[in-house]
Amino acid sequence: MAEETQKIVRLMRKDLPGEVPVEAALRSIRGVGFMTARAIRKKVGFDKNILMGDLTDAEKGTLEKMLDAPHTFDFPHWLLNRRKDPETGMDTHLVETNLMLANREDIVTMKKIKSYRGIRHMFHLPTRGQRTRSTGRKQTTLGVQKKRGGNK
């Protein structure tokens, strides 16, 4: 009797859909984009049509190892999402909670040293050069108000 496809697969402390291909399921992990998912699938040697729920425990373990530390598996450095880490100087790849914590820590550091981007973060303004004259107004009413007392 053939085994059934699992509906939900637990990988990297996240529930992934088991009825979609491996590449698509990996993309639902924060920090894994389509290029990283494709590189991992090709490095492991999976067919592109294999479903996430059809993987064995050993294959899931291999995927988890690759997601945990892809810089140790000879992936190109441009594929990693944390190149030249300010603290260690190494190229790493962070996923899920580690990525969010590192991002928050970077913002706190920018605010602390009062860099341009840090100041923009402090005042909740766009940090990447977007215009602010006509857009980026969050929950503030700006406009023309009539003077009290009418026309004289």
Residue-wise pLDDT tens digits, 92-109: 888 888 899 999 999 999
Instruction: Output the pLDDT for position 13.
Output: 85
- Does residue 33 or residue 147 have the better pLDDT? 33
Instruction: Output the pLDDT for position 152.
Output: 58
Fold that domain 8-79 belongs to in CATH = Helicase, Ruva Protein; domain 3 (1.10.8)
Helix (H, G, I), strand (E, B) or coil at 122: helix
Query: Residue type at 151?
Result: N
- pLDDT band at residue 89 under the 50/70/90 scheme: confident
Instruction: Count the helix, strand and coil residues of the chain and give each as a percent rounded to the nearest 5.
Output: 40, 10, 50
pTM: 0.72
The domain segmentation of the chain, as residue ranges, is 8-79
Is residue 90 pLDDT above 60, yes or no? yes
Of the candidates 26, 31, 33, the residue with the CA atom closest to the CA atom of residue 48: 26
Instruction: Output the pLDDT for position 139.
Output: 61
Residues with Cβ within 8 Å of residue 86, at least 6 apart in sequence:
106, 109
Instruction: Output the pLDDT for position 147.
Output: 73
Neighbours of 32 (CB within 10 A): 23
Residue 120 contacts residue 138 (beta carbons within 8 Å):
no
